[in-house]
Amino acid sequence: IMYPAMTTDLSINMPQQMVSPGFIRTLAATSIVVMRRRVQERGRNLQDQQMAPYAQMTRQQRRKRGRQTAYRDLTDTGRMMGGIHVASVTRVGASGYQATVGFSTAYARQTGATHQERDPWFGLSRDDRRTLTAFVQQQLPIELRKQMDKRSQ
């Protein structure tokens, strides 16, 4: 089940002959990792800025549970971040693919939406896109070789 109220699309404009849907799925899964790291490890929002700090009461509660409080990481139980997944990979016209990333549970979607309203975080920031571009530049030659090998068989 996909909860479409919170999704982001990753449009990749490459000839379909150059890449496989599996490569696009890998790219989308990598985007989830990159987004999680931005939020969980650095407390950054969609504009690559530090998110607003936790309220004093929230910091106290998090401290009691052994959670970090130096920055807002949107992680307590891990259910919201763990609920982010690649929902679909579809063809877009004759020239590319589109991957949709969303939440796999109503809880994750609702929690994500609440945090999104407070400080937008869900999606790809400028730094996230740079990281993914580097990933594609590294992985695309490997993918192209795979596709060429398939055609020559």
Q: What is the pLDDT of residues 1-39, one digit of tens each?
A: 344 445 665 555 555 667 788 888 999 999 999 999 999
Give the DSSP H/E element, type plus range, for residue 90. strand 84-92
User: What's the sign of the alpha-carbon dihedral 41, 44, 50, 51?
Assistant: negative
Region 44-66 average pLDDT: 96
User: CA-based diameter of the chain, in Å?
Assistant: 63
For residue range 71-112, what is the model confidence (pLDDT) as tens digits?
Answer: 999 999 999 999 999 988 888 877 678 888 999 999 999 999
How many Cα neighbours within 13 Å face the side chain of 10?
Answer: 30
Q: How far apart are CA 16 and CA 106, in angstroms?
A: 33
- Whole-structure pTM over 0.75, yes or no? yes
84-92: strand order across its sheet? 3-12, 96-103, 84-92
In the block, residue with structure tokens 């020559």: 152
Structure tokens at 108: 């994750």
